[in-house]
Structure 1
């Protein structure tokens, strides 16, 4: 197997694991203390993709449907999501964000972006950031195509 590809995969895994851990531990904002990272991730997914079935959320988070049901129940209790019937098929139930849920996503994004900006400032130049963005756009497109 190609050694550079192996190194790339290992680096990607390291950034995902250690980066997530470091960022989550470093975000000093009440919103990141009130909600679990998994709950915020659910809110972000719904915010990004719009209404969706709970099963699709489970698939996207790579967890069992019972785990998503539990997360959604807690988010419903906090009035951040609601369950609605699909306009196309009344038997299908979809999860959508409430206005409060949209605000949580907006606030969590703001805190995260500010932290990353501070972390990267004076360490990553504009050209490196452009290369990073270009590469991740390409990887995203490849992954999206492969998932079809």
Structure 2
């Protein structure tokens, strides 16, 4: 594969993510985002995927200042969607991990169900073999990125 084809694929993937995110947020915002903001939903989603995390690592992941994450965590704590990890023994919140609650998982699952419904309608006429190829490519990318991420720790 030539680099120009790879660049074309990456640019197209970025455009699909960008436009797809806009469409999905617009389609589900009236139900989902009346209780949590998009940023809070993204933080919950990060915790769902990554597991208990420090506020600092969440700030890096979301590309925002720690004070923005602290504010989001505070609001999510008040809503019962996250909690401080009880396994942490230290009383210093800077070293504690935040984790998603069962209620937070329900918010993510509801959002994902709405998202998958939209995507399913977009691709209901795509051949299964093409979906299989797409899964293979994304699985390979995930494995390579995971390996690369683990080698830097």
Asked if Structure 1 and Structure 2 have the same fold, meaning a TM-score greater than 0.5 normalized by the shorter chain, the answer is: yes
Q: CA deviation at 1:36?
A: 2.0
Rounded Cα–Cα distance in structure 2 between residues aligned with 1:120 and 1:17? 17
- Which residue is equivalent to 2:82? 81
Change (3 A) 1:143 1:80: same
- Which residue is equivalent to 1:118? 121
Change (3 A) 1:65 1:140: same
- Which residue is equivalent to 1:63? 64
Superimposed CA distance per residue, residues 16-74 of structure 1 (whole angstroms, 9 cap, x where no aligned partner): 21111111112265123432222112112212222111111112222221221121111
For the aligned residues, what is the CA RMSD?
A: 2.0
Q: 1:135 aligns with which of 121, 133, 137?
A: 137
Q: Provide structure 1 residue ranges, at least 5 long, that are not aligned to the other structure.
A: none
**What is the TM-score normalised by the length of structure 2?**
0.84
Aligned length: 147
